[in-house]
Amino acid sequence: MKKVEIIKTYYEENHKEGRADHEILGWESRQAQRKRFEILVLNVDLEGKSLLDVGCGLGNMLEFIEEKKINVRYTGVDLLDSMIECAKRKKLNGDFICTDIFKDDLFEKGSFDVIYSSGIFNINLGNNMDFLKKAVKRFLELSKNIAAFNLLHTASQDKEDKYYYYNPADVGSLISGAHDNISKINIIEGYLNNDFTVIIKK
């Protein structure tokens, strides 16, 4: 099965009527999902910025931003049309598009101030470090200033075979060699016992 199909199958199987958004997206709780969003908001100035949310799912990041009354020009993209349609029905103040940014050239280089992604690297695809390196390169092409994302931590006490867990030091080394135009890499740990966030500044 192709990697994209593995991802689609995972979320399609989760997307059942009556499930809460965080359950559909595979998060352990709504609070944990929102904590990941909070780390971005606390460490990146989003006010007045253009933001691309890669793997936007059901639009929960934009819901969080609107709750915090942060003014952003938001675009969310996802592989699954069903996710995008659900996000659109929420009538949030942003654009939601079904596309694969790693294959489609829908956006020009430097189209956004900030690129953010929460959860797209969690499923064990068999080549996660290669995918991460490719993704970081793409994020930095599309971003004027910042690329940020979260990853599951190797220190997690409740590992599952279907997920991939990353060592922060290995990720830092990988990113350093992924792009020439990086001024700072900030790795944030400790906010959850199974997660860390990477913020890359150009």
CA–CA distance, 14 with 42 (Å, rounded to integer): 30
Residues 119, 91 contacting (CB under 8 angstroms): no
pTM score of the predicted model: 0.91
Instruction: Give the contacts of 95 (CB within 8 A, at least 6 positions apart).
Output: 74, 75, 76
Instruction: Please write the tens of the pLDDT for every residue from 110-146.
Output: 999 999 999 999 999 989 999 999 999 999 999 999 9
Dihedral of CA atoms 84, 188, 44, 59 in degrees, nearest 10, equals: 10
Q: How many CB atoms lie within 10 A of CB 71?
A: 12
Mean pLDDT of all residues in 165-181: 89
Mean pLDDT of all residues in 180-193: 93
| Residue 10 tokens, joined | 């995972």
CA–CA distance, 196 with 113 (Å, rounded to integer): 22
Residue 172: strand, helix, or coil: helix
Q: What are phi and psi of 201, to 5 degrees?
A: -110, 135
Domains, the chain: 3-201 (3.40.50.150)
* Number of residues that make up the chain: 202
pLDDT tier, 29 (very low <50, low <70, confident <90, very high otherwise): confident
| Range with lowest mean pLDDT among 20-24, 148-152, 181-185 | 20-24
